Amino acid sequence: MKYKKLMSVVALSAVATIGLAACGNKEKGGNSKETATEDISKFPIKATNKDKAIKGGTLEVAAVMETQFPGIFSEIFYEDNNDNVMMEPSHESLFMSDDNFEINDKGVAKQELDVDAKKATITLTKEAKWSDGKPVVAEDIMEPYRIVGHKDYTGIRYGENFRNIVGMEDYHTGKAENISGIKKIDDKTVEISYVEMNPGMTQSGEEIWRSAVPAHVFKDIPVKDMVSSDAVRKTPVTFGPYKINKVVRGESVEYVPNEYYYGEKPKLDKIVTKVTPSKSIVEGLKSQNYDMVIKMPTDSYPNYKDVKGYEILGRQELSYSYLGFKMGKIAGDSTIEYNKDAKMANKSLRQAMAYAVDNKVVADKFYNGLRTDGSTLIPPVFAKFHAKDVKGYKQDMDKANKLLDEAGYKKKDGEDFRRDPKGEKLEIKFASMSGGDTAQPLAEYYMNQWKEIGLDVKLTTGRLLDQNAFYDKLQNDDPEIDVYQAAWGTGSNPSPTGLYGPKAAFNYTRFTSEENTKLLKNIDSNKSFDADYRLKAFKEWQEYAKEEAFAIPTLYRNEVRPISERVTGFDWAYDAPTNPWAEIGVTAESRK
């Protein structure tokens, strides 16, 4: 795909073409001329500067965000991915993984699974210490389970993975003071007993919790007060290569070396990460204001691809964009309540909306190939499990119109828009987020395409929503949302149960069915420890999800990270052998 010219925009109506061109004519968004599409596999994955790092120095990092970060520096409490970005230099997982995201023995801890006995054993293998000098011990591995499982826990992590631990439900409801299925073997070893074993436990995800919590810090803080405590908001104790030294709320974080880090001594004196809006990030790069940019927008790639003083790292992203259709609500016990009479519960309506758009043209025109059109809800970064032969929805306006006609969505004489099968007026509310130069024209493109097949689609509240308002409405099942455009960060476990399962808080479509639940259970069952069975289970679910169209993958995402030419030692590969923040340094006093 590299350097192939985008010769023409085909299969788009005139009005849609105008919508796409609107992006290209903006100074910092899209590209108004024919542009080569890029191949992410050709980008470097680590700093090519091999010079020796100088002693000390300050690394200045820009994190592209349209809103302030909430400032919850804890893996068990954070909900906004912006906080996760701010934890990169300071927080480290217990486990490391290979290029298939399967846990290996190179991290602070290793794990061993006994499938027949339904047990996992976690053993600390390195003499890691917290940033206050205390050793990381077995109690610290157990502490996240005690907090997340507690009845006063206020976060979102208490889901199927935690309920699957023997004794967790009794602990959660207050019937037991401890979790019977979690046992300390010695100061370095913890044994966890499960109700069912899951092949996702081999992955570096959340089936087996990946982080530790300093028990000596949190043991005296009531669980209900933890999320607002200094231990989470201001002075978190961590065992990564750097520790948080100063927080300017919502704006920046300053890190200094963790003098007790178990690995190679951090090279820098300081790291400062500042929130930077997308509208100013390109000019900031051109002025060489930063050593690194996290979450660099790909829609403005032509404007910075050759920027002086930088190289651009690239990799497939553990995420995808999608269109979701609201079809129910979530109950107080986290059970999805699907409503078969919901506005968007008609499969033909959902499929027609999918056939109306051309996501390949969107990917090439808006993102220069740094995003690609989606086909299934398992992105290709999971090469083993992505079903290549399951074809996604390609634009077919005739098929879209036929589906609507046959399902009874018809116009009355003299009307511009279709009515629902009962003959009532149909207005569909579409929620999409603001941010970046492409947000508005992309939302307009989708709405224009749906108008072309006779659907009256309007923006929720009449405008794009900022990220906080968008997710507040989505999570609370606001009736103002019928269809929405969003993105998922999948994590490193390819199982889709946490996003589309019958008890998944993140199942924002609120779709569930017996067949969907059965197919998801097959993916996560004991039988799926057999590689061939698991591959078959993944394929069957992807085929079903495509047919039901409760969520339509629109774009697979690739991510880029500009780094200054003075940066050395940074390895962005998912299977990097060490924490990249432990190795990073600079080879000159200044970027200029």
Per-residue pLDDT band for 19 (boundaries 50, 70, 90) equals very low
Is there a single domain that holds both residue 386 and residue 292?
no
Separation of alpha carbons 253 and 234, rounded Å: 10
CATH code of the domain covering residue 224: 3.90.76.10
**Does any domain span residue 329?**
yes
Is there a single domain that holds both residue 543 and residue 575?
no
pLDDT of res. 35 = 52
Is there a single domain that holds both residue 531 and residue 399?
yes
Contacting residues for 79 by C-beta, under 8 A, at least 6 apart: 70, 72, 155, 156
**Does any domain span residue 444?**
yes
Decide if pLDDT at 382 tops 90. Answer: yes
Is there a single domain that holds both residue 139 and residue 18?
no
Average pLDDT over residues 91-114: 95
Can you read off the two tokens belonging to residue 87? 């934890």
Cα 53 from chain centre:
32
Average pLDDT over residues 425-442: 93
483 and 317 in contact (C-beta within 8 Å)? no
Decide if pLDDT at 33 tops 80. Answer: no
Decide if pLDDT at 22 tops 80. Answer: no
**Does any domain span residue 68?**
yes
| Mean of pLDDT over the chain | 92
Separation of alpha carbons 93 and 235, rounded Å: 18
Total domains, the chain: 3
DSSP character string of 95-156: --B-TT-BB-S-SSEEEEEETTTTEEEEEE-S--B-TTSPBP-HHHHHHHHHHHTSTT--SS
Separation of alpha carbons 261 and 136, rounded Å: 11
pLDDT of res. 334 = 80
- pTM, rounded to two decimals: 0.81
Is there a single domain that holds both residue 547 and residue 573?
no
Is there a single domain that holds both residue 465 and residue 444?
yes
What DSSP character marks residue 227?
A: G
**Does any domain span residue 37?**
no
- Using only C-alpha atoms, the chain has a radius of gyration, in whole angstroms, of 24
Domain end marker among 169, 196, 228: 228
110 and 96 in contact (C-beta within 8 Å)? no
**Residue-wise pLDDT tens digits, 205-251:** 778 999 999 999 999 999 999 999 999 999 999 999 999 999 999 99
Length of the chain: 592
**Residue-wise pLDDT tens digits, 310-339:** 999 999 999 999 999 999 999 987 899 999
CATH code of the domain covering residue 279: 3.40.190.10
Q: Where are the alpha helices (DSSP H) in 372-478?
A: 397-406, 439-452, 467-475
Cα 451 from chain centre:
30
**Residue-wise pLDDT tens digits, 333-375:** 789 999 999 999 999 999 999 999 999 999 988 888 899 999 9
Is there a single domain that holds both residue 445 and residue 564?
no
Can you read off the two tokens belonging to residue 10? 């085909």
Q: Which domain, by its residues, includes 129?
A: 109-228
Domain end marker among 210, 228, 246: 228
Judged by DSSP in three states, 523 sits in: helix
Is there a single domain that holds both residue 269 and residue 400?
no
Decide if pLDDT at 13 tops 50. Answer: no
CATH code of the domain covering residue 369: 3.10.105.10
Separation of alpha carbons 15 and 106, rounded Å: 54
Decide if pLDDT at 26 tops 80. Answer: no
For residues 16 and 38, the model is more confident at 38
pLDDT of res. 438 = 87
Is there a single domain that holds both residue 452 and residue 351?
yes
Separation of alpha carbons 51 and 591, rounded Å: 15
Per-residue pLDDT band for 100 (boundaries 50, 70, 90) equals confident
In DSSP terms, 371 is beta-bridged to 557
Alpha carbons within 13 angstroms on the beta-carbon side of residue 568 total 17
**Residue-wise pLDDT tens digits, 193-211:** 999 999 999 998 778 999 9
User: If we measure between CA atoms, which residue out of 393, 362, 337 comes closest to residue 548?
Assistant: 393
Amino acid at 5: K
Domain end marker among 173, 196, 228: 228
**Does any domain span residue 509?**
yes
**Does any domain span residue 95?**
no
For residues 498 and 327, the model is more confident at 327
Decide if pLDDT at 302 tops 50. Answer: yes
**Does any domain span residue 102?**
no
Is there a single domain that holds both residue 257 and residue 361?
no
Alpha carbons within 13 angstroms on the beta-carbon side of residue 64 total 23
**Does any domain span residue 518?**
yes
Is there a single domain that holds both residue 441 and residue 489?
yes
Per-residue pLDDT band for 36 (boundaries 50, 70, 90) equals low
Separation of alpha carbons 298 and 61, rounded Å: 18
Average pLDDT over residues 93-118: 95
Is there a single domain that holds both residue 219 and residue 253?
no
Average pLDDT over residues 366-386: 93
Q: What percent of the chain has pLDDT over 90?
A: 86
